[in-house]
Amino acid sequence: MSAVNKVKLRGIGMTSQRTRERLIQRLIEQGIENMAVLDVIRTTPRHMFLDEAMAHRAYEDTSLPIGHQQTLSQPYIVARMTELLLAGGPLKQVLEIGTGSGYQTAVLAQLVESVYSVERIKPLQNKARQRLRQLKLYNIQTKHADGTMGWEEKGPYDGIISTAAPEKIPQELLRQLASGGRLVIPVGGVQQHLQVVTRTQEGFQTEIVEAVRFVPLCSGTVR
Ligand code: SAH
Distance from the CA of 70 to the center of ligand 1, in angstroms?
7
Number of domains in the chain: 1
- Domain CATH for 110: 3.40.50.150
Q: Is residue 149 part of a domain?
A: yes
Q: Is residue 47 part of a domain?
A: no
Q: Is residue 39 part of a domain?
A: no
The parent domain of residue 201 ranges over: 64-212
pLDDT digits (tens, 9 = 90+) for 153-169: 999 999 999 999 999 99
Contact 97/71 with Cβ under 8 angstroms? Answer: no
Distance from the CA of 147 to the center of ligand 1, in angstroms?
9
pLDDT for position 12 = 46
Q: Is the CB of 146 under 6 A from ligand 1?
A: yes
Q: Is residue 121 part of a domain?
A: yes
**Where do runs of H (alpha helix) occur along 87-121?**
103-109
183 band by pLDDT with thresholds 50, 70 and 90 = very high
> CA-CA distance, 2 to 134, in Å (whole number)?
13
Which atom of ligand 1 is found nearest the CA of 104?
7
Distance from the CA of 22 to the center of ligand 1, in angstroms?
27
**Where do runs of H (alpha helix) occur along 98-139?**
103-109, 122-134
Q: Is residue 4 part of a domain?
A: no
Which atom of ligand 1 is found nearest the CA of 66?
8
